[in-house]
Amino acid sequence: MTESGAVLFIDDERPIRMAGCQALDLAGFEVTPCESAEQGLRHVTRDWPGCVISDVRMPRMDGMELLQKIHGIDPDIPVILITGHGDVPMAVQAMRDGAYDFVEKPFATDRLVEIARRAADRRRLVLENRRLRAELSEKSGEAYPIIGRTPGIERLRTTITAVAGTSADVLVLGETGTGKELVARNLHAQSPRAKNPFVALNCGAMPESIIESELFGHEPGAFTGALKRRVGRIEHASKGTLFLDEIESMPMSLQVRMLRVLQERVVEPLGGNDIVPVDLRVVAATKVDLRKAADERTFREDLYYRLNVVVITIPPLRDRRDDIPLLFQHFVMQAAQRYGREAPHLTAAQTHRLMTHDWPGNVRELRNAADRFVLGIDEALAASAPAAGGALSLAEQVDLFEKSVIETELARHKGSIKATVEALGIPRKTFYDKLKRYGLSREDFVE
């Protein structure tokens, strides 16, 4: 398909049909001429990636009936009607019945092209939204879906699949809010241990006075208040997976005992003399550089090397901006269901704001923003939305979105024209035209 989109042009008068098709073809559309409504209707499917332009008065099936039949296939296909002077009242009624717009004969070709371009843009947005929802629907059946289609996320999924079936311990690296526990749960869910316990412990959220008992358990009388035996998290995770989040926060004294667990697969409860064998996989997660922590003696070097066998790194959200619309849509649908609200739609201005924000809190911050958006209390996104009475046209919204995508790719490729053009999949001349149109300069993105 061409850059501008696809158009079905239906008119039983050959001169008008040829003139309209030529104008649209020169404007970059992929045009299919049809001399009758019946012929045009054969091309229309629910996945038709464009708009329909049709005359109103035609033999056998007129434009009004065609409109009804097309909307019976897909009510979101834009239908533009060409009308004679006396057909204007009929066209107004057609607009009420769902026609996208109408053009009165004799029409100026630039007006026809502009209406077609807006209609094609709208169709693209509808199909993209459907594709996102379909992708999310496919993921909804997974217990712990990892949402995204950027290369970094594809590599992450591939690595998880490759490692999950082994018994190797794993170290997960990622900034706050990137989804380290989600990765750990995927490793467990895809492993032979999936039917056994997944036990999670946040080492940074537990007071040092009780973390030892939580991890290793204790026997009666081990300390004041220990009235009965308690099975620790390590023993409870036997046959399954033990997830230690923020392992950099584990006290140094416990790191020695944890090293023995990793090396010998045994645990010794507090106050006990018996050694309990355990069969478990350990997945540890951290947001800091453990090598640096080991050099600074805030983390044991031997434990670092024991953990640093299989390492999975989660990219921050700012490095996979193309995943933001899909992720946000996912969280919006979840929030709408949770709060009993209808899922609102994003404007292009709001999408632009989402994609240009740095998201220091990563996916967790994005999820919170989706909750606020569904509840109607997100001031940042509300500021992006056009005020009542001053709504942006669809073309303006698409322009904002297109500009944000170009800015994102230029920034990602540090101003490289060659890399940006390849990433966007457009001709170099088209790219330069868009830079001029949006007042962008590659020099602003060169580091």
Residue with tokens 């790219």: 431
Residue 90 lies in a domain: yes
Is 178 among the domain residues? yes
Q: Is the residue at 145 inside a domain?
A: no
What percentage of residues in the chain have a pLDDT greater than 90?
A: 39
Residues 15 and 129 in one domain: yes
Using the 3D structure, point to which of 78, 107, 138 is the last residue of a domain: 138
pLDDT per residue over 234-252, tens digit each? 999 999 999 999 999 999 9
Q: Which amino acid belongs to residue 113?
A: V
Instruction: Check whether residue 303 and residue 331 sit in a common domain.
Output: no
Tokens found for residue 242: 């033990």
Residue range 423-438: average pLDDT?
82
Query: What domain count does the chain have?
Result: 3
The tens digit of pLDDT for each residue in 137-172 reads 555 545 678 888 888 999 999 999 999 999 999 999
Band (pLDDT 50/70/90 cuts) for residue 394 is low
Q: Is the pLDDT of residue 332 over 80?
A: yes
Its domain, for residue 33, covers: 5-138
269: Cβ–Cβ under 8 A, 6 or more apart, which residues?
A: 216, 217, 218, 219, 222, 229, 230, 232, 235, 276
- 96 shares a domain with 80: yes
* Least confident span in 316-325, 332-341, 406-415: 406-415
| pLDDT tens-digit series, residues 198-241 | 999 999 888 877 888 888 887 876 676 666 778 889 999 999 99
Tokens for 396, please give them.
Answer: 């303006």
Same domain, 272 and 331: no
- Give yes or no for residue 447 having a pLDDT over 60: no
**Segment 100-120, tens digit of pLDDT:** 888 888 888 888 898 898 888
Rounded to the nearest integer, the mean pLDDT of the chain is: 84
Q: Is residue 143 in a domain?
A: no
On the question of pLDDT at 91 being above 70, the answer is no
Residue 146 lies in a domain: no
Q: Is 212 helix (H, G, I), strand (E, B) or coil?
A: helix
Whether residue 85 has pLDDT greater than 70: no
pLDDT at 432 over 90: no
Q: What 8-state DSSP symbol labels residue 426?
A: -
Give the amino acid at 211.
I
Domain co-membership, 333 together with 422: yes
CA–CA gap between residue 95 and residue 86 (Å, rounded): 16
Residue among 385, 366, 377, 433 nearest 406 (CA): 433
Question: Collapsing DSSP states into helix, strand and coil, what is residue 219?
Answer: coil
Burial 235-272 (b: 16+ CB within 10 A, else e): bbbbebbbbbbbbbbbeeebbebbbebbeeeebbbbbb
Report CA torsion sign: 12, 14, 16, 21: positive
Q: Does the structure show a pLDDT above 70 at 384? A: no
Residue 411: pLDDT above 80? Answer: no
Residues ≥6 apart with Cβ < 8 Å to 170:
163, 184, 187, 281, 282, 283, 284, 309, 310, 311, 312
pLDDT value at residue 142: 56
Predicted pLDDT at 255? 93
Instruction: List Cα–Cα distances, 304 to 102, 145, 247, 279, 293, in angstroms.
Output: 69, 29, 10, 21, 9
C-alpha distances (whole Å) from 8 to each of 48, 99, 109, 190 are: 10, 15, 16, 47
Instruction: Write down which residue in 298, 315, 332 finishes a domain.
Output: 315
83 touches 115 (CB < 8 A): no
Residue 264 belongs to domain with CATH number: 3.40.50.300
Do 291 and 395 reside in the same domain of the chain?
no
- Is the model's pLDDT at 386 over the cut of 60? no
Q: When comparing pLDDT for 89 and 292, which is higher?
A: 292
Q: How many CB atoms lie within 10 A of CB 225?
A: 7
Contacts of 80 (CB under 8 A, 6+ apart): 51, 52, 53, 54, 99, 100, 101, 102, 103, 115, 116, 119
End-to-end CA distance of the chain: 35
pLDDT at 227: 67
Is 269 domain-assigned? yes
Give the rounded distance of the alpha carbon of 435 from its chain centre: 26
The predicted pLDDT at position 391 comes to 47
Confidence of residue 175 (pLDDT cuts 50, 70, 90): very high
Residues 223 and 173 in one domain: yes
Which pLDDT belongs to residue 185? Answer: 94
Q: Where are the beta strands (DSSP E) in 97-204?
A: 101-104, 170-173, 198-202
Show the tokens assigned to 240: 């399954």
The H or E element that residue 307 is part of is: helix 301-307
| Confidence bin at 417 (pLDDT 50/70/90) | confident
Distance of CA 415 to the CA centre of its chain: 24
Provide the 3-class DSSP secondary structure of residue 350. helix
Instruction: With beta carbons less than 8 A apart as the criterion, state whether 318 and 365 touch.
Output: no
pLDDT band of residue 77 (cuts 50, 70, 90) is very high
Q: Which of 86, 115, 138 is the last residue of a domain?
A: 138
The reply to whether 288 and 330 lie within a common domain is: no
Give the per-residue pLDDT at 389: 40
At residue 353, does pLDDT exceed 90? no
Q: How far is CA 143 from the centre of its chain?
A: 17
Same domain for 251 and 332, yes or no, is no
Same domain, 238 and 286: yes
Residue 259's pLDDT is 93
Residues 36 and 165 grouped into a single domain: no
Identify the pLDDT of residue 263.
93
CATH number for the domain including 20?
A: 3.40.50.2300
355: domain CATH number is: 1.10.8.60
Please tell me whether residues 19 and 57 are part of one structural domain.
yes
Residue 426 has pLDDT above 70, yes or no: yes
**Of the listed ranges 23-27, 230-234, 369-373, 404-408, the one predicted with least confidence:** 404-408
pLDDT above 70: residue 3: no
Q: For 254-278, how does the pLDDT look when each residue is reduced to its tens digit (9 = 90+)?
A: 999 999 999 999 988 887 778 889 9
Q: Is residue 63 part of a domain?
A: yes
Query: What is the tens place of the pLDDT at every residue in 188-200?
Result: 999 999 999 999 9
Residue 123: pLDDT over 50 = yes
- C-alpha to C-alpha distance for 47 and 79, rounded to whole angstroms: 15
Residue found under tokens 């999670």: 200
